[in-house]
A and B are shown apart, each in its own frame.
Chain A
Amino acid sequence: MSDNNTQQQGNAVQTTGHAWDGDLQEFNNPLPRWWIWTFYATIIFSLGYWIIYPTWPYANTFTKGVGNTITFQNDAGEEVTTHWNTRSLLIKDMQTGEEATKQKAYLEKVNAASYEEILSDPDMMAFANSMAKVVFADNCAACHGPGGDLPEQAFGLYPNIADDAWLWGGTTAEIEQTITHGRNGYMPAFGKNLDDEKLEQLANYVLGISGHSVETDKAAAGEKIFQGQEGGCYYCHGADGTGLKSQGAANLTDAVWTVANVPGAVKEEDKVAAVKRVIKNGVSRQMPLWKSRLGEEQIKLLTLYVHELGGGK
């Protein structure tokens, strides 16, 4: 079409003036002039930008920009005015931005409400869950895993908190207590007092009360150790083996194993070996106290989140 244009208009096409091999010429279709004005305009724009915003590095500092300041509150609550920079803009936005303001209002609402009220309010619960997810990932996931349980390889290192077995209690008050003050999970090592045969008997008994098929004569002997003074297991785990919250003693009669990797064992003797290992070596697990690191409101959110993970009590 452009060919038509130039031919039919009858005026000679402008060339750049070069000629090669006698007659080989180069057409010149000039750009519109505003094109180059736009280019100059961008240069002028950049000059303005250099003046107003932090731009040029020099020596060990940089140009700060003229007449362009930003004011925000620092951690100490003091008003700080500094040259415009994106870091301060972020801080300011996190303090007074639209979403930050919304978040603050929600936090105040959650702070003022009781656990019972929050658990009955789907809106507050949704907020608590999404907010606490981050706190959990930052502080708790390192031991408990991002979803509250650990992979197979790390079985028993730390309690699974995504199931419904609560060593220290699963009510909101108990969970809050656990997070705030930490826990010491301790079971003595019985390897010194009990020989291998007795450990075997005890392990058979423990597996038996949670419904695993065991050798009955060994289990009967194990029961005597469990309930008698020799083992004294009933002190903490109870005569019926259902555990004791105040000691963090596990319920041995349910399907959940918190330390001995029974679910991971395929053969019967592996299950016995796993339980034996725990009785022989004991357990020592610590959860640090979090009140020194997390604020009250964070602990409250975490409590709700952890409560929701496994279903709570």
Chain B
Amino acid sequence: MENEQDQAVGHLYEARKSIFPRSVKGRFRDLKWGILAFAYGVYFLLPWLRWERDTGRDQAVLFDLVGRKFYLFDLTVYPQDIFWLAGLLMLAAYLLFFVTGIAGRVFCGYFCFQTLWTDVFVLVERLVQGERPARIRLSKQKWDAEKIFKIGTTHLLWMLVAFFTGLSFVLYWGDAPQLIGDFFTLQAPFAAYATALFLTATTYVMAGHAREQVCTYMCPYSRFQSAMFDSDSLIVSYDAKRGEGDKGRARAGRNLKTRETRTEAGVGDCIDCGYCVQVCPTGIDIRNGLQIQCISCALCIDACDTIMDSLEWPRGLVAYTSERQVSEGKRARLLRPKVLGYFAVLMVIVTALVWSVSHQQKFDMTISQVRQPLFVTLSDGRIQNSYEIKMNNKTGANLMLAFSLDGLPGAELDMGKFQAIILAPEQRLRLTARVRSHPDLLVGGSHSFVFRATPIKRDDLQEFMQNAVFTTP
């Protein structure tokens, strides 16, 4: 009994089994390198792109936290526009559901930064230490000078990549040329160092050490993507019928070198070379079927295609397919209620977001009635309500405004000396307005009226109107 206990406890935690992915050439690998190059190009170079603007900063993409404005090319995002972020997140979520429903985990395999950075880290590993067998050998080797040098160089280069990743991220949040100078002369804000250090550390750990464990154990998306699959979703799969034949797979030994002889012998087309297993970044064997670890990176397809090409057999022993194709032999259906539903929601969100962004107000004005007291009686018998007006000039030029009222009988507007004001570009302001009217003209309760701000000498702008309520006893 005691022995059993010990054994049980000993197995509660499992060390990571090192994976040494072999490199592979092929169309999916080329596509993935292309996407990687593009993504890296955008990520590392974008902060350096300058952009002409009427006002504000001249960096194309800048998240100016201190100035509370985000600059995205010709778009300036103000704190009031933060709901766009909600729209964007919903868009991203539904795009993920939609794409996963049709094409499976393409995000994981091609676009996820964990996959991209791991690819680069594995590339560094290969360039320094050599191909898979050399790396396996090195890992078993004693800690001699060669091993220390090679492993040390690998980790150093990893840290460099990680550092530039962290540094580039920081550059989005400040003026890049200025910030990078400040960074290396130790004058940058503490947050810049903390963020850069944090991202350096996480990149190094996640892409260098944790790798496929991020996908298997940590990532929530990989888990719920698995739940979005159905039998029509695109998956990477091994054609077991063709590969195994009647008697299973067999190496291309004597009398088993051609398809004909193999068919006679009853074995399938899989020559059990293991190439598909060796290239897998998550260390699984695709021939065991669909597995939770599979990120649909398609490198096993490239590997098997390479082998099939060299044997001059047809490709497709490992290929993109669907469960329906595998089990029923029918083509996957594309127009399914789920897919159409996601598409409809996606279109609604895209339309709403595009409309909202393209109709961004050049001038914000909100009016809230002072609620304590709701009204006061004045010495001449009239009723006075007070309002707090908040406004923000986003036009990029001086904005002269005159305020007036509409739709309230006998109303008088008193804004002290600010009945007409000039707002500087980007200026936010809070004013108090007092509205007076005679109770005889307004019978009981609440009365809606329109508060108007008329731009002066600006033909490009329309009048701004806000509804407000006047309360009488």
Which residue of chain B is the closest to A19 with respect to CB atoms?
A: B4
Query: Quick check: B291 and A1 within 8 Å, CB to CB?
Result: yes
Shortest CB distance A250–B (Å)? 10
Interface residue tally on A, bucketed by range: 35 or more
Query: Quick check: A163 and B13 within 8 Å, CB to CB?
Result: no
Query: Quick check: B213 and A165 within 8 Å, CB to CB?
Result: no
Answer yes or no: A255 CB below 8 A from chain B CBs: yes
Query: Quick check: B377 and A255 within 8 Å, CB to CB?
Result: yes
Which residue of chain B is the closest to A257 with respect to CB atoms?
A: B377
Q: Which of B425-472 contact A (CB under 8 A)?
A: 427, 429-432, 434
Q: Which of A203-218 contact B (CB under 8 A)?
A: 211
Query: Quick check: B8 and A18 within 8 Å, CB to CB?
Result: yes
Q: Which of B149-157, B257-265, B311-319, B368-376 is near enough to bind chain A?
A: B368-376
> Using a Cβ–Cβ cut-off of 8 Å, how many residues does chain B contribute to the interface with A?
43
A130 to B390, CA, bound (A): 13
Shortest CB distance B246–A (Å)? 18
Shortest CB distance A238–B (Å)? 15
What A residues does B397 contact at CB under 8 A? none
Query: Quick check: B372 and A147 within 8 Å, CB to CB?
Result: yes
A255 to B429, CA, bound (A): 34
Query: Quick check: A31 and B14 within 8 Å, CB to CB?
Result: yes
Query: Quick check: A18 and B432 within 8 Å, CB to CB?
Result: no
What B residues does A33 contact at CB under 8 A? 13-16
Query: Quick check: A146 and B431 within 8 Å, CB to CB?
Result: no
Query: Quick check: B291 and A256 within 8 Å, CB to CB?
Result: no
Query: Quick check: A311 and B372 within 8 Å, CB to CB?
Result: no
What A residues does B373 contact at CB under 8 A? 145, 147-149, 162
What A residues does B309 contact at CB under 8 A? none
Shortest CB distance A58–B (Å)? 33
Shortest CB distance B213–A (Å)? 6
Q: Which of A1-48 contact B (CB under 8 A)?
A: 1-2, 4-5, 8-9, 14, 16-18, 28, 30-36
Answer yes or no: B416 CB below 8 A from chain A CBs: yes
Q: Which of A85-93, A116-124, A181-189, A288-296 is near enough to bind chain B?
A: A116-124
Query: Quick check: A256 and B378 within 8 Å, CB to CB?
Result: yes
What B residues does A28 contact at CB under 8 A? 8, 11-12
Answer yes or no: A178 CB below 8 A from chain B CBs: no
Interface pairs (16), CB distance under 8 Å:
A9-B285, A17-B7, A31-B13, A32-B16, A33-B14, A120-B417, A122-B418, A122-B429, A125-B431, A129-B430, A130-B430, A147-B372, A162-B376, A163-B379, A164-B379, A254-B380
Q: Which B positions have Cβ atoms within 8 angstroms of A?
A: 4-5, 7-8, 11-16, 210, 213, 217, 226, 285, 288-292, 370-373, 376-381, 384, 386, 414, 416-418, 421, 427, 429-432, 434
